[in-house]
Amino acid sequence: MKNFISVNDVDDINELIEQALRFKANPSVLKTAGAGKRVGLLFLNPSLRTRISTQVAASNLGMEAIVFNVDKEGWALEFTEAAIMNGTTVEHIKDAAPVLGQYFDILCVRTFPALQNREDDYAELVINQFIKYAGIPIISLESATLHPLQSLADIITIKEASLGITKPKIVLSWAPHVKALPQAVANSFAQWINAWGNAEFIITHPKGYELDNNFTKNATVILDQDEALLNADFVYVKNWSAYNDYGKIISTDLNWMLNNKKLSVTNNAKVMHCLPVRRNVELSDEILNGLNSLVTKQAGNRVWAAQAVLAEILKTK
């Protein structure tokens, strides 16, 4: 694996899942694989899980991880081609990325979309320029449109929790939120579930929240949430802002928030969310505090997802 930006960088999803589960069973099994190697974790946006799980994963492989909060501690980066830099940006990515390439063996980057201009965000300008100019493997810690480490952890969690179910019914359900959020988690989850192919996949959302078909492909979309939830084995709850009326909040209808009554029509479904979650807006206390919630296990699996990906990229170093 050269870079890890989307599921398209993965040769064999099932083998990557198995590798992650081997690391979960024995975190130190490859404790010297990264000896003498250094990974940079660059954050242009906040994080709790991604930052710490990737640091733990690197440590399990014997790698040194250095975190750099570019948004708070770095020079303001410029990404525009032929920019006349007489404004607020101080350093062009064309200059900064090759320097980082000298310091690290692998570079991990988190960046969010601006949600102002769909074309710009979906061109993945930031992560693509790190790939172009750093000269070392790049791992996405969430980009403008995708969150692949999250999706890998999500599928690991589904695999662990679906013992005895050969083809689980998985429902990705939109949830209300007070802020306009990226589509990245939902896009990425759809892309990975489609590529994995071991599920009946349904997406439910209010009208106007259609996702990019490049990621959802042949997923069934059902606008009636109660109908979508019937006999579900897993419900993945997530808010996203509109893709078509780009970045807009079209609905804040709290009737879309999952609670035990809604869950009662499912096959005792397990409930997932990538976190952070707004309690009693996106998801009810009764679900998050209840036995069906997988959110903590899901976040725990971020370590094994990151370790599997780092180990795969280390093979090429």
Residues 126-145 that bind ligand CP (CB under 6 A): 142
Q: Which is nearer to ligand CP, 50 or 239 (CB)?
A: 50
Stretch that binds ligand CP, among 24-32, 219-227, 231-239, 273-281 (CB under 6 A): 273-281
CB 243 within 8 A of CB 181: no
Residue matched to tokens 């869950």: 263
Q: Residue 206, preceding bond cis, omega within 30 degrees?
A: no
CB 139 within 8 A of CB 107: yes
Q: What is the crossing angle of helices 125-134 and 93-103, to 10°?
A: 50
Stretch that binds ligand CP, among 46-54, 156-164, 228-236, 259-267 (CB under 6 A): 46-54
Q: Which is nearer to ligand CP, 138 or 149 (CB)?
A: 149
Q: Which is nearer to ligand CP, 19 or 143 (CB)?
A: 143
Does 54 bind ligand CP (CB under 6 A)? Our answer is: no
Stretch that binds ligand CP, among 5-13, 112-120, 246-254, 274-282 (CB under 6 A): 274-282
222 vs 144: CA distance, rounded Å: 26
Stretch that binds ligand CP, among 2-10, 45-53, 95-103, 208-216 (CB under 6 A): 45-53
> 267: closest CA among 221, 183, 179, 202?
202
Q: Which is nearer to ligand CP, 47 or 59 (CB)?
A: 47
CB of 185 to ligand CP, least distance (A): 7
Does 275 bind ligand CP (CB under 6 A)? Our answer is: yes
- The sign of the dihedral angle between the CA atoms of 254, 285, 193, 125 is positive
Does 50 bind ligand CP (CB under 6 A)? Our answer is: yes
241: left (phi over 0), alpha (psi -120 to 50) or beta: beta
284 vs 292: CA distance, rounded Å: 12
CB 310 within 8 A of CB 61: yes
Stretch that binds ligand CP, among 88-96, 114-122, 189-197, 268-276 (CB under 6 A): 268-276
Q: Which is nearer to ligand CP, 232 or 295 (CB)?
A: 295
Q: Which is nearer to ligand CP, 93 or 185 (CB)?
A: 185
Does 69 bind ligand CP (CB under 6 A)? Our answer is: no
> String of b and e for 213-223 (b: at least 16 CB within 10 Å)?
eebbeebeebe
Q: Which is nearer to ligand CP, 238 or 262 (CB)?
A: 238
Does 150 bind ligand CP (CB under 6 A)? Our answer is: yes
Side-by-side strand order, sheet with 200-204: 220-221, 200-204, 169-174, 234-238, 270-272
Q: Which listed residue (20, 77, 96, 274) binds ligand CP by CB under 6 A? A: 274
Does 99 bind ligand CP (CB under 6 A)? Our answer is: no
Q: How many other CB atoms are found less than 10 A from the CB of residue 96? A: 21
Does 47 bind ligand CP (CB under 6 A)? Our answer is: yes
Q: Which is nearer to ligand CP, 7 or 229 (CB)?
A: 7
Residue matched to tokens 């040194």: 64
CB of 36 to ligand CP, least distance (A): 27
Q: Which is nearer to ligand CP, 221 or 281 (CB)?
A: 281
Does 48 bind ligand CP (CB under 6 A)? Our answer is: yes
209 vs 148: CA distance, rounded Å: 21
Contact positions vs ligand CP (CB under 6 A) = 47-50, 142, 150, 274-276
